[in-house]
């Protein structure tokens, strides 16, 4: 009796009002959850905001969280733009970190002006190759890219575990499976108290904005995303575009991995991605696949993440409660995107037929 139909395209003002309403409803629902737990929701929400900005160190920590999230979201955005469902940002980030870590561990004696560009390129190649694998099988054999990219995440993760256990194990760790911390010469320098990954992220936002909106290749990505048949009819080499774009998608995610291991973690661990690749998918979609908007969304996510950690320590809430609160907010925000495009309507014909019976 009820079906889903596509609505007329809403104006920018209407979309903004719907998103604002979704955010307010999310806060109300989250507030009810906190009240049931016996907490003051206003105090909790205030702590989330103050926790992310209460000191210079807190602000730096918030930006530190944002760096890999923003870069990874830019990476998956490229693939999503052509409707290639790249769920492998996590694995591509990890492989970028693995490739960069090789040079950080075994060539730390190189001059910085050589070492850092090499690690940067290594991160690009590592992530790019990891994304190119499912793209190749997609264009050649028509495999499911969603499952393929998802499985590669776990292969990359267990590759790091293997490196920790044997080839790259730190001999000074007394048998404990860990990789040695990088030498200072292989660690990214800081600017305003935060590793310069944030500068790299801002540059990537600008570069990808121009690339997607004003270049021929960016236009080809959009056409392939709209209709591969149309792209083929227009004389575009669809297979080449898919392979090229997927390499770029993985390469950007690989940069996130390189920045994370050489800037924040200063070593390679199984937690190098920490779910960032999956959260980046949500950021990319909420940003409407717009690089500039992703900067804002990634920042808001980072504020929520940093503020939630302060709430856990200050109010004694478990990590599960903080995750539930984040999930409630995401549920309403993502649900809003559905109602921007679709609506529920009664099927009058079916209702009339049932009434006649």
**pLDDT per residue over 186-225, tens digit each?**
999 999 889 999 999 999 999 999 999 999 999 999 999 9
3 — pLDDT class (breaks 50, 70, 90): confident
Q: The tokens 């499976």 sit on which residue?
A: 177
pLDDT attached to residue 239: 95
Residue 40 in any domain: the answer is no
More confident residue, 130 or 355: 130
In a domain, 149, yes or no: yes
Q: Are 49 and 307 in contact (CB under 8 A)?
A: yes
Report the distance separating Cα 287 and Cα 298, nearest Å: 9
Would residue 221 count as lying in a domain? Answer: yes
Q: Is the dihedral of CA 237, 242, 243, 244 positive or negative?
A: positive
Alpha helices, H only, the chain: 12-36, 41-53, 56-81, 89-106, 112-141, 145-165, 197-214, 216-226, 228-233, 238-259, 276-286, 291-315, 319-341, 348-356
> Any idea which residue has 């390129």 for tokens?
121
Could you give the CA distance from residue 133 to residue 146 in angstroms, rounded to a whole number? 13
The arithmetic mean of pLDDT across residues 329-352, rounded, is: 73
Q: Is pLDDT at 357 greater than 80 in this prediction? A: no
* 90 vs 274: CA distance, rounded Å: 8
Q: What is the CATH number of the domain that holds 135?
A: 1.10.3470
Q: For residue 268, give the 3-state DSSP assignment.
A: coil
pLDDT bucket at 318, cuts 50 / 70 / 90: confident
Whether the pLDDT of residue 351 is over 60: the answer is no
Q: Does residue 340 sit within a domain?
A: no
346: Cα separation from own chain's centroid: 37
Is 31 a member of any domain?
no
- Is it the case that residue 348 has pLDDT exceeding 70? no
Mean pLDDT of 332-351: 73
Query: In this predicted structure, what is the pLDDT of residue 356?
Result: 54
Per the structure, the complete domain to which residue 127 belongs is given by 68-316
Greater model confidence, 11 or 86: 86
Q: Does the residue 8 lie in any domain?
A: no
| pTM confidence score | 0.89
How many domains, in total, are found in the chain?
A: 1
Is pLDDT at 10 greater than 80 in this prediction? no
Residue 331 lies in a domain: no
What's the pLDDT at 1? 67
Question: What pLDDT, in 10s, does the model give residues 12-46?
Answer: 787 788 888 888 888 899 889 888 888 888 988 88
- Residue 148 maps to a domain: yes
């Amino acid at each position: 009796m009820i079906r889903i139909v596509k609505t007329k395209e809403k104006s920018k003002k209407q979309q903004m009002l719907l998103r604002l309403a979704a955010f307010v409803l999310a806060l109300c629902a989250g507030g009810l959850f906190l009240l049931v737990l016996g907490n003051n929701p206003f105090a909790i929400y205030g702590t989330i905001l103050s926790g992310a900005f209460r000191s210079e160190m807190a602000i730096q920590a918030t930006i530190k969280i944002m760096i890999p999230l923003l870069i990874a979201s830019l990476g998956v955005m490229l693939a999503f733009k052509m409707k290639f469902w790249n769920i492998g940002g996590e694995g591509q980030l990890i492989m970028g970190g693995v490739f960069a870590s090789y040079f950080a561990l075994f060539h730390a004696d190189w001059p910085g002006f050589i070492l850092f560009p090499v690690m940067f390129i290594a991160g690009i190649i590592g992530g790019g190759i990891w994304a190119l694998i499912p793209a190749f099988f997609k264009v050649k054999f028509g495999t499911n890219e969603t499952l393929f990219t998802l499985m590669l995440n776990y292969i990359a993760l267990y590759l790091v575990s293997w490196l920790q256990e044997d080839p790259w194990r730190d001999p000074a760790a007394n048998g404990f499976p860990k990789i040695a911390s990088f030498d200072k010469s292989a660690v990214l320098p800081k600017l305003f108290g935060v590793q310069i990954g944030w500068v790299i992220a801002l540059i990537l936002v600008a570069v990808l904005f121009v690339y997607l909106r004003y270049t021929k290749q960016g236009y080809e990505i959009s056409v392939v995303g709209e209709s591969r048949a149309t792209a083929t009819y227009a004389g575009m080499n669809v297979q080449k575009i898919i392979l090229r774009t997927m390499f770029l998608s993985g390469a950007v995610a690989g940069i996130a991995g390189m920045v994370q291991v050489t800037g924040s973690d200063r070593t390679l661990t199984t937690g190098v991605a920490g779910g960032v690749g999956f959260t980046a998918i949500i950021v990319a979609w909420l940003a409407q696949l717009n690089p500039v908007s992703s900067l804002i969304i990634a920042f808001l996510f980072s504020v929520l993440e940093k503020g939630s950690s302060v709430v856990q320590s200050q109010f004694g809430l478990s990590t599960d409660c903080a995750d539930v609160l984040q999930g409630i907010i995401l549920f309403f925000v993502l649900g809003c995107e559905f109602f921007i495009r679709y609506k529920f309507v009664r099927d009058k014909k079916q209702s009339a037929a049932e009434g006649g019976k």
